[in-house]
A and B are shown apart, each in its own frame.
Chain A
Amino acid sequence: MANLSFKDFKSDQEVRWCPGCGDHAVLAALQRALPKVSQALGYEKERYVVVSGIGCSSRLPYYMDTYGFHSIHGRATAISTGIKVANPWLTVWQACGDGDALAIGGNHFIHAIRRNIDINIMLFNNQIYGLTKGQYSPTSKFGAITKTSPYGTVEHPFNPGSLVLGAKGTFFARSLDVELALNEEIMTAAALHDGCSVMEFLTNCVIFNDGAHRNLSDPAVRADHTIVLRHGEKMIFGKEKEKGLVYDGRKLRVVRIGEGGFTLEDILVHDAHTDNIGLHMALADMKGPDYPVALGVIRDVKDITYDDGVRDQVKEVMAKSRIHCVDDLLHSGSTWEVK
C-alpha cells in the first residue's frame, strides 16, 4: 500500500473560505488524519468519498483530492447513506453545517443515526447561517441577535450531542476548530468506529458570528471551561489539572481535587464504551458556568450497522433462494402453456 501523506488529500482547487474561518483548521486536520487512517486500516485513497450538503463548510469536498459529492441543502446524510449501502467497501466522510444537518436536513440526520449506517459525519457548528450571510440557525443561543432575529431569537437551540444520543447514536465526539491534534485524534477514532460517527466541531465564523465559542476557545479560559474526555482516563480539567468530575448518586458534580474530602480516587474514569447512555448524555449536556464543556470522544459503542445488515440479508436470501437469474424469476409462481 502506498504511503499517503496530507498532500495526497489536497486538491488543486483554491480554498475560498474567509481568512480566519474555523473551517480551514478542520480541513487541515482531516487531511492529516486520513493518511493515519489509511495506515491503520490499509485503505487506498480511491476508497474515500467525501460528501457534503450546502453551506460554507459544504465546500470541503472540492478541497479534498478524493471522490467527492457536493449535494443539496440538508441531503448530504441521505446521499452518504446511499453510497455506503450501495458499496460498503467505500469509506464515507461527510461535511455539513448546523443549519444544513439540523434544520433542513434534521430528518435524515436522526434517521442515519437510528440506522447506525457506517458513515463519518463532521458537523461544523458555528451557530449561524454563513453562506446566506448571517441568519440564526437551530444551534444559535436563545436571544441571539442576527439578521432574521433583530430583537433576539425566541427559540431554544439544539445541543447536537443530546440529539445524537437521544437517537441512540453509537459514536459522538466534540471538539473546537483550534484543537488540531484533538481533531485528528477524534477523526481517527471515528474512522475506526463501525457505525454512524458524529463529530461536532465548534467552529468560528469570523464574519457573522465572531467569537461565538470564544468562551471555550480563548487560551486564557480554555482549560477551565472545557474538559477533554479520553476513554480509560480520569475526568480532570483546569489549568493546574486541579478539578475533576464526580458522580454523587444523582448527578455529575465538579470538585476540586484534594478539597471537600475528594481525592484523585473519587474522580470518574471515562468509559466511552459503556452502554450506559445516561452518563454519556449527562456529559454531552454539560455547559458553563457550572460545568466545563466536554470535548473528545464521549461515546463509542459497538452495535450492528445498517450496511452490514443489508449486505448480510442479501447474502442469506441468495443462499436459500431458488431464483438465481431473471429467467428463473419470470417463470416463478403460477404459469400456463398455450400450445
Chain B
Amino acid sequence: MSAIYGNGLSTFPDYPAEIRAPHGTISGVSGFQVHIGNDKVTTPGDFCDLLVAMNPAALKANAKWCKRHAMVLVDQDSFDDALLRKAGFQTDNPFAELGIEDRTLIVSPITTMTLESLKDFDMDQKAKLKCKNMFTLGMACFIYSRPLEYIYTYLEKKFAKKHPEVIEPNRKVLNDGFNYAANIQAIPNTYVIEPARNARKGTYRNISGNQAVAWGLIAASEKAGLPLFCGSYPITPATGILEELAIHKSLGVKTLQAEDEIAGICTAIGAAFAGNLAVTTTSGPGLSLKSEALGLAMMTELPLVVVDVQRAGPSTGIPTKTEQSDLYQALYGRSGECPIPIVAAHSPAHCFDAAFQAAKIALEHMTPVILLSEGFIGNGSEPWLIPSMKDYPEIKPPYVQGVLKEGQKYYPFQRDPETMVRRWAIPGQKGFEHRVGGLEKNHEGAISSDPANHALMIAERQAKVEKIAASISELEVLGEPEGKLLVVGWGGTYGHIDSAVRELREAGEKVSYAHFDYIYPLPANTAQVFSRFEKILVCELNIAQFASWLEGRIPEANIIKFNKVQGQPFLVGELVEAIKKEL
C-alpha cells in the first residue's frame, strides 16, 4: 500500500524455521518489519516507531527494538495469565517488566472487536479470528494517515477468484479498525508520510530478491536466445527462486525438482552441455553438496549459474536467518585449482541485474559463475522502477562458426588468445562431435596427464577468469575519491552501510564508501581506489572473509574490519559507531 502510495519502502520478514512453531512462546515469534519514508529507503530500519504485538511473547521478543517515543500496540485479549506466563512474565504488567511503560501504549481488545465487527457474517470462529490482522492494519492506517482504497483493491485482486466470500468481511474489519483508532483518543499523534520526493518518474512494482533473481535469469535467457533450465532441490531460503521459475513456462523455462542437490547441479550441467542457459539454486549446505560437480563444470568449461542464497551456517545453522559466511566456500570450496567467478547482489531489486550479469559472464566466458545472494535480500522486498529490456545488452556466447570442411576438426579447448575463452559446439551440430569430461585434457580435447600440459591448462583457466575483470564495471566511490577512511562492503549489507555513511557525511564527517558487486575477479580499478585511502574498513556479516580475500589480492592496502555474525543484518546505528571510531 505504501509502495503504491509512492513512499520509499523496505521490508524484512523474520521467522523461525518451524512452520507451526509453538504458539505463544518466544522462539515461535514471527515478525515482519516495514520501513517507509518520503525519500528512498534502503534498509528495513534498526528501531521502530510502531510495534504491533499480537501476544505477550511477541512483545517480549521485540520490546528492545522500540524507539524512545515509540507507540506499542497490543491485543489486550491475548494478554491473559496463561500467555503472560508462557512468555515468561512474572507480573501482570509486562510493560513495566520490559521497562517500556513510558512508551505510548495502546492496549486494545483487538480479538473482541474483530469478532464483534463480524457478528453478522456467516463464518466460523476460526475464519473470523484470521481477520484480526486486518483490524490492526486498519488501526495502523489511521496512525499513519493511509488511505484504505489501496487495500480494498488488494483484497479484491487477491481473493476475487478463489475466496470472494472473504473480501467483504476483511473490508469491514479494516474499516472498523480504522474508525476504532480514530474514536478511542488513545493515539496522541498521527503522521503523514508524503510520497517520496525525489523518486524517478516511471512505472514501479514491488519485488523480492528471490523473485528478481528468477526474472533476471529469464531476462538473460531472452537476451541470449537460449531456453532457461533450472535443476534445483528445495532449500531455505533459496526455494523461492525455483518456485518462481516454475511459474514461467510461458517464457520457455524448464524446471526440474531434482532428487538431491547433486542432481540439481548435474542436470543443469547436462542442460548446459545440450545448449540451454543452465541454472541451479541453493543455500550454503547445498553448495557444499554441489562442490564436486562445480569442479566438473569448471573443468568442462560449460556456462552455468549457481545461485547461493546464504543463510546462517555452518551446517544446518539457523536456516531462516541471514549471513554472508559462504564467501570462502564460493571462493575456495573445491578440489584442485578451480577458479570460479563470483557476483554478489546488493539489494532485492539489484538481484535482477546481478542474475543477468552472472548469466552473461557464464555464457560469454564459458564458465560456471556463483551468484551470492542472502536470506535478507532474498526474502526482503523493495519498490523497483521497472526497466525496459531494450536497455539491456545482448548476450553473445562464443558459438563455433560455420561448417567444418572435409578433414578439418573442432578442438574443444582451443582458446581465443584475447579472452582465453573456448568455442562452444552444442550436440546436434554436424561435424563438431567431441568429448568433454573431468579428466585433464589438451587443447585438442584428448585426455592428457602430461605435466607441462596440466600446468598450462591450469594457467589458462585461471587467466580466463581473471580476464573477466576487463568486461565488468569499475568500482565506484561515494564521497571523496581520497582521504583517511574508505568504508567497504559487499552483497546485501549495501542498504545499511550506505545509510550509515550518508548519515555521517550529512553530519560533516569525511568518509567515503565503495560497495563490491563483483567479488572475483575484483573490478580492475580496485587497487587504485584503495591506494588513495589511509584505511579501508571492511564491514561484513561473517568473521572477515572478504577482508582476507582483499588482503590477499591487494596486500599493500591497510585493511581493518568490522564484523557481525548473529544471523541478523547490520543496524545502521552500530555501523555509524564503528565507522566513527576510525575517523
* Chain A interface residues toward B at CB < 8 A: 11, 13, 44-47, 49, 51, 54, 61-62, 65-72, 75, 78-87, 89-90, 107-108, 111, 310, 313-314, 317-318, 320-321, 323-327, 329-331, 333-339
CB <8 Å contact, A67 and B427: yes
Q: Which residues of B contact A70 (CB under 8 A)?
A: 435-439
Residue of A nearest to B252 (CB): A314
Q: Please, how many angstroms separate the alpha-carbon atoms of A44 and B437 in the complex?
A: 23
Q: Please, how many angstroms separate the alpha-carbon atoms of A13 and B215 in the complex?
A: 44
Query: Shortest beta-carbon distance, B571 to chain A, in Å?
Result: 30
Query: Shortest beta-carbon distance, A58 to chain B, in Å?
Result: 9
Query: Shortest beta-carbon distance, B399 to chain A, in Å?
Result: 15
Contact of A329 among B195, B248, B271, B296 (CB under 8 A): B248
Q: Which residues of B contact A327 (CB under 8 A)?
A: 388-389
25 contacts between A and B (CB under 8 A): A45-B433, A62-B435, A62-B437, A78-B266, A79-B269, A81-B267, A82-B268, A82-B271, A82-B272, A83-B270, A83-B274, A86-B271, A86-B274, A107-B259, A108-B259, A111-B258, A310-B254, A314-B254, A318-B249, A326-B218, A327-B389, A330-B386, A334-B206, A338-B6, A338-B202
Residue of B nearest to A82 (CB): B270
Known: A326-B389, A336-B4. A83 touches B271 (CB 8 A): yes
B328 is an interface residue with CB less than 8 A from chain A: no
CB <8 Å contact, B215 and A326: yes
Q: Please, how many angstroms separate the alpha-carbon atoms of A62 and B269 in the complex?
A: 19
Within 8 A of A (CB), among B191-238: 195-196, 199-206, 215, 218-219, 222, 227, 229, 231
B39 is an interface residue with CB less than 8 A from chain A: no
Query: Shortest beta-carbon distance, B261 to chain A, in Å?
Result: 11
Q: Which residues of B contact A79 (CB under 8 A)?
A: 266-267, 269-270, 273
B454 is an interface residue with CB less than 8 A from chain A: no
Residue of B nearest to A12 (CB): B446
Within 8 A of A (CB), among B233-264: 248-254, 256, 258-260, 262-263
Q: Please, how many angstroms separate the alpha-carbon atoms of A336 and B434 in the complex?
A: 52
Of the listed residues B206, B249, B275, the one surrounded by the most CB atoms of chain A closer than 10 A to its CB is B249
Within 8 A of A (CB), among B414-455: 427-439, 446-447
Q: Please, how many angstroms separate the alpha-carbon atoms of A72 and B269 in the complex?
A: 11
CB <8 Å contact, A82 and B437: no
Q: Which residues of A contact B387 (CB under 8 A)?
A: 330
CB <8 Å contact, B218 and A329: yes
Within 8 A of A (CB), among B338-394: 385-389
Known: A78-B267, A321-B250, A327-B388. A89 touches B435 (CB 8 A): no
Q: Is the interface of B mostly helix, strand, loop or mixed?
A: mixed
CB <8 Å contact, A49 and B252: no
Contact of B434 among A67, A80, A329 (CB under 8 A): A67
Contact of B429 among A46, A310, A317, A323 (CB under 8 A): A46
Known: A46-B433, A65-B433, A68-B435. A337 touches B203 (CB 8 A): yes
Contact of A326 among B4, B222, B256, B435 (CB under 8 A): B222
Within 8 A of A (CB), among B1-57: 3-4, 6
Of the listed residues B222, B274, B428, the one surrounded by the most CB atoms of chain A closer than 10 A to its CB is B274
Q: Which residues of A contact B447 (CB under 8 A)?
A: 13, 62
Q: Please, how many angstroms separate the alpha-carbon atoms of A78 and B296 in the complex?
A: 13
Known: A71-B296, A86-B270, A338-B199. A46 touches B251 (CB 8 A): no
Q: How many residues of B contact A (CB 8 A)?
A: 72
Q: Please, how many angstroms separate the alpha-carbon atoms of A80 and B231 in the complex?
A: 13
Q: Please, how many angstroms separate the alpha-carbon atoms of A135 and B196 in the complex?
A: 70
B293 is an interface residue with CB less than 8 A from chain A: yes
Known: A46-B429, A90-B428, A326-B222. A81 touches B248 (CB 8 A): no
B474 is an interface residue with CB less than 8 A from chain A: no
B580 is an interface residue with CB less than 8 A from chain A: no
Of the listed residues B199, B388, B428, the one surrounded by the most CB atoms of chain A closer than 10 A to its CB is B428
Of the listed residues B199, B263, B275, the one surrounded by the most CB atoms of chain A closer than 10 A to its CB is B263
B276 is an interface residue with CB less than 8 A from chain A: yes
B305 is an interface residue with CB less than 8 A from chain A: no
B292 is an interface residue with CB less than 8 A from chain A: yes
Q: Please, how many angstroms separate the alpha-carbon atoms of A329 and B432 in the complex?
A: 37
CB <8 Å contact, A80 and B428: no
B69 is an interface residue with CB less than 8 A from chain A: no
Query: Shortest beta-carbon distance, B68 to chain A, in Å?
Result: 34
Q: Which residues of A contact B262 (CB under 8 A)?
A: 75, 78, 108
Known: A314-B249, A318-B250, A333-B205. A86 touches B227 (CB 8 A): yes
Q: Please, how many angstroms separate the alpha-carbon atoms of A44 and B430 in the complex?
A: 8
Known: A86-B254, A108-B263. A66 touches B296 (CB 8 A): no
Residue of B nearest to A51 (CB): B270
CB <8 Å contact, B292 and A72: yes
Q: Please, how many angstroms separate the alpha-carbon atoms of A333 and B153 in the complex?
A: 12
Q: Which residues of B contact A317 (CB under 8 A)?
A: 249-250
Query: Shortest beta-carbon distance, A291 to chain B, in Å?
Result: 33
Q: Which residues of A contact B427 (CB under 8 A)?
A: 46-47, 49, 67, 83, 87, 90
CB <8 Å contact, A61 and B199: no
Known: A65-B433, A71-B296, A90-B428. A326 touches B266 (CB 8 A): no
Q: Which residues of B contact A82 (CB under 8 A)?
A: 229, 231, 256, 266-274, 278
Residue of A nearest to B384 (CB): A330
Q: Which residues of B contact A61 (CB under 8 A)?
A: 435, 437
Q: Which residues of A contact B200 (CB under 8 A)?
A: 338
Residue of B nearest to A79 (CB): B270
Contact of A323 among B248, B295, B435 (CB under 8 A): B248
Residue of B nearest to A58 (CB): B437
B157 is an interface residue with CB less than 8 A from chain A: yes
Query: Shortest beta-carbon distance, A51 to chain B, in Å?
Result: 8
Given A68-B437, A82-B272, A314-B254, output 19 extra A-B contacts at Cβ < 8 Å. A13-B447, A67-B435, A69-B435, A72-B266, A72-B438, A75-B263, A75-B293, A79-B273, A82-B268, A87-B275, A111-B263, A324-B251, A325-B222, A329-B251, A330-B387, A333-B205, A335-B204, A336-B204, A338-B200
Query: Shortest beta-carbon distance, B35 to chain A, in Å?
Result: 18
CB <8 Å contact, B251 and A326: yes
CB <8 Å contact, A69 and B389: no
Residue of B nearest to A332 (CB): B205
Q: Please, how many angstroms separate the alpha-carbon atoms of A65 and B431 in the complex?
A: 10
Q: Please, how many angstroms separate the alpha-carbon atoms of A54 and B295 in the complex?
A: 15
Query: Shortest beta-carbon distance, A104 to chain B, in Å?
Result: 10
Q: Please, how many angstroms separate the alpha-carbon atoms of A241 and B91 in the complex?
A: 93
Query: Shortest beta-carbon distance, B256 to chain A, in Å?
Result: 6
Q: Which residues of B contact A11 (CB under 8 A)?
A: 435
Q: Please, how many angstroms separate the alpha-carbon atoms of A80 and B556 in the complex?
A: 48
Q: Please, how many angstroms separate the alpha-carbon atoms of A324 and B249 in the complex?
A: 10
Q: Which residues of B contact A69 (CB under 8 A)?
A: 270, 273, 300, 435-437
Q: Which residues of B contact A336 (CB under 8 A)?
A: 3-4, 6, 203-205
CB <8 Å contact, A330 and B252: no
Residue of B nearest to A110 (CB): B259
Q: Which residues of A contact B300 (CB under 8 A)?
A: 69
Query: Shortest beta-carbon distance, B548 to chain A, in Å?
Result: 30
Contact of B437 among A65, A71, A108, A310 (CB under 8 A): A71
CB <8 Å contact, B267 and A111: no
A-B interface, 10 closest residue pairs, ranked by CB to CB distance from nearest: A82-B270, A70-B437, A321-B250, A78-B266, A82-B267, A86-B271, A68-B435, A86-B274, A317-B249, A67-B427
Q: Please, how many angstroms separate the alpha-carbon atoms of A335 and B433 in the complex?
A: 49
Q: Which residues of B contact A333 (CB under 8 A)?
A: 205
Known: A70-B435, A331-B203, A338-B201. A326 touches B219 (CB 8 A): yes
Query: Shortest beta-carbon distance, A334 to chain B, in Å?
Result: 7
CB <8 Å contact, A325 and B206: no
